[in-house]
Structures are given as C-alpha cells and as structure tokens.
A and B are shown apart, each in its own frame.
Chain A
C-alpha cells in the first residue's frame, strides 16, 4: 500500500477490501429495514388506537342516543298526549284552544326532530336498512299527510350502506327537500321512492306523477341546495322528465369504504 496523505479522499476504498464493503452495505440496509419496521409498527399501533377510540366514541354515541330517547322523547310524548286530551275537551274558538293546538304541533315537531337526531347519532343506523328505512318512513308519512299515495322499492340495495353521520344527515335533508317540493308544488297523486346500490354508490330515485313545474319552484333554490349538499361528498343530483307524466329526481352518493369494527 502506498503512504496516505492526511486528507483521505476515499476512506472506503482505502480501508476496506470488497467483502467488508458488502458487509457495510448490508449493515446499512439492515438498519434501514429496522427503521422501516419500527415506523410501520408505530403506524399500526396508532391505527389500532384510532379503532379503539372509534369504538369508544360509538359506544358513547349510543349512550347519548339512548338517554335522549328515554328521557326527552318520553316527556315530549306526554306533552303531546296532554295537549291532545286538552283539545278534545275544548271547542274551537274557546279560550286556550289555539294555544293548545300550537302546543300539539310543536310537541309533534319536537318528536320528529329528536327522531332525526337519534337516527343520525345511532351507530345502528350504519346498517343499510336503518338508513334507508328512516328516509323511506319519512317519505311515506309526508306523502300520506298530503293525501298522496306512496310506493317504495329498496330491493336494489344489495350492499351494506355505510354512511358517516354527517353524510347520512345530508342525504336525509336532501331527500326531505325533494319530498317537500313534491308535496307542495308538483300536483301529484303518487310519489315513488326507489333505492339501489351500484359500484360503491347509493342511488335514490324519487319520482312523482305531477304536472307542476318544479324547476323554478322556490326560485330554483331547492335543487341548488340539494346539489351543494351532495357535491360536498362527491355525490350528484339531477332532475329528469318522466314519460308520460311527472318528474324524477335522482340522487347519487358514494358510500363510505367499509372498515371492520373492533
């Protein structure tokens, strides 16, 4: 070996023959692998903790839902019953009758609102029939309230419908707006609700057989709000004419990817 100058330019080539060089490279790779492994184990631990947190949050949501249901709904049901009993014993035009009617309407409205909140909080509503069933039931009630017939077909919902609470709520509010629009403006006799799943999306098709012009109802605001709600989740809305008579509003919403619960 030749004598070394003090500033050694290439220590590896100088100090180590080939096999020791390979050993160093393997050692470095080993160290890198250990680092990657420890990083991915940490990710896994964080993921498991997220799942546990979610499980705890789910349990908490369920507890709140149950408490709200038991305490609040029971009391409001009682209010509703008392107001109705009062109305039976008081004739229209007599003092207090109008106020009792208002109490009845408000109590009834409160019960629906509590239902909606519980539904959006309750983890059981992650199941497909609970989500669609709630919207279905609302649609049926509203249609019947306005004297319309109601038809429903949800057999096309083949996969579990996983919708996070805010998404589920937006879907419900969108459907609610469409239905309000129909009962108020469409001049229809029948409302039809068909739900099916296709390629990881839920499609809701609400049809009516009315002649009313709905595109400008509410100054066109109705559909705009619905579109905004759905586009928030990469969903879509469109309105089609139906032959021979009526309109169909089609809402499409991508489902959440299924994640296994702890």
Chain B
C-alpha cells in the first residue's frame, strides 16, 4: 500500500553492487521505499510479504529468467506493475518481456530523474515505447490480429504509427492535441492488448499444436 506519494518498489537485481547502489538511491530520494533481492525466486516470496506497487526487474537473472518471473507475477498479482531494467537495449528481450506482462522498461544508463519519473509513470498507468519497439508492435498486430481478434483502436494505431516514425511522447501529444499522460495511457492499452494477444496465441498453440486451418 502506498503512503502518500511514496511508492513501494521491489528491486530484483543479481549484480550485488548495482543492487545496493540503486536501493540506497531510491531510499534516500524521499519518493520511494525500496526492498531488494538477488533473484526471481526470492522476488516472488518478497512480493507476497512486502506488497510493492512496482517491481523493478533486471531482464537477465540467474535461475528463473526476468521474463518468466514477469509472467508469474502478473498471474498472481495482476495489479502490480512490472518494469524491466536492462543494460543493453535488446529489443527482442524487451519485446518478449512486454508480451509477458511488463508495462514499462528503463535502460540502466538513463539519468536518475528519468528513472524516478518512469517508476511513477508506470504506477500511474502510463508506459514508454521507443520507435524500434513500436515497429515490432505494429508488425505483431499486422500478422496476428485476424487470428486472435485483438485489434487496436484508431487512436492507438495513430499513436503507434507516430512512435514508429520516431516522434517522442511530447511531440505526439502536440500533434494529436492530447496530454502526454493520455498518450502514455494509450501506450499502456496497446501493451495490454499485446499481452492478451500473446496469451491467446499461447493458448491456441496448446489447443491446436498444428495450427488452425
């Protein structure tokens, strides 16, 4: 549960030094209360005990992967937001994490204020999306929307197209006469549809292993 605007954050990060540094940073910022653990298994136990608002998870974890852990978290605690943390901008891994249920991602070298804002935004219902991720999402909906019935609204398609072209949130907001928060909310909805699409696809694969004819 939150206390005013202090968000409860659970950090799952296996690099010891980085985990300690980031925990100290978050705890001394006055904006967060941060708990930390070193792997996914510990993380799942910690969520049950600490009830965080946001989970900040390294995409590369020993043992259970960040992506599997994300799936597990969203199944058991759907209201918890999961934000992936990655050193290297590996679009494939980030995209897989988003399909698995993550609603945001940060690159570790992002400035501190950006990191703080990202955590707040992901809790407030908004999500980021880079041009390359946008293109992957477009591709995903083009190929699969007929089979799995998940379609994007016209507004969502507009936002997605502008993101693919390289516009940033603020530019899109100006272009479409919306607030930046609204644009971020649209992105959140796009991710949620992507996740449904991904889950449906997994179910279909299980039901009809040789495909639907």
- The reply to whether A144 and B168 form a contact with Cβ atoms under 8 Å apart is yes
Does residue A152 face the partner (Cβ distance < 8 Å to B)? yes
* CB closest residue in chain A, given B112: A84
Q: Is the interface of A mostly helix, strand, loop or mixed?
A: helix
Residue of B nearest to A190 (CB): B166
> Is the CB–CB distance between A69 and B87 below 8 Å?
yes
Number of A-B residue pairs, CB cutoff 8 Å, is 71
Does the CB pair B132–A129 fall under 8 Å?
Answer: yes
Q: How many whole Å from A18's CB to the nearest CB in chain B?
A: 65
Contacts of A154 in B (CB 8 A): 135
5 A-B residue pairs with CB within 8 Å:
A73-B88, A77-B87, A82-B21, A129-B135, A154-B135
Number of interface residues of A (CB under 8 A): 32
A77-B108, A111-B109, A129-B91 given; 7 more Cβ-contact pairs under 8 Å: A73-B88, A85-B24, A85-B25, A115-B89, A124-B92, A149-B167, A153-B165
Given A70-B60, A81-B25, A108-B109, CB of A151 within 8 Å of CB of B167 = yes
**Given A77-B109, A136-B131, are A69 and B165 also a contact pair (CB < 8 Å)?**
no
Does B201 sit within 8 A of A, measured CB to CB? Answer: no
- Out of A74, A75, A118, A136, name the residue touching B132 (CB < 8 Å): A136
Query: A84 CA to B167 CA in the complex, in Å?
Result: 28
Pair B88/A81 contact, Cβ less than 8 Å: no
Residues of A close to B92: CB separation below 8 A: 124
Instruction: Give B8-35 as 1s and 0s: 1 = Cβ < 8 Å from A's Cβ atoms.
Output: 0000000101100110110000000000
Within 8 A of A (CB), among B33-90: 60, 87-89
Within 8 A of A (CB), among B84-113: 87-89, 91-92, 108-109, 111-112
Residue of A nearest to B14 (CB): A74
**Are A140 and B112 closer than 8 Å at their CB atoms?**
no
A152 and B21 contact, Cβ closer than 8 Å, known pairs A111-B109, A115-B88, A144-B168? no
Interchain CB contact under 8 A, A137 and B130: yes
The interface bits of chain A over 93-132 (1 if a CB of B lies within 8 angstroms of the residue's CB, else 0) are 0000000000000001001000100100000100001100
Task: Report the bound CA distance from A137 to B109 in whole Å.
Answer: 15
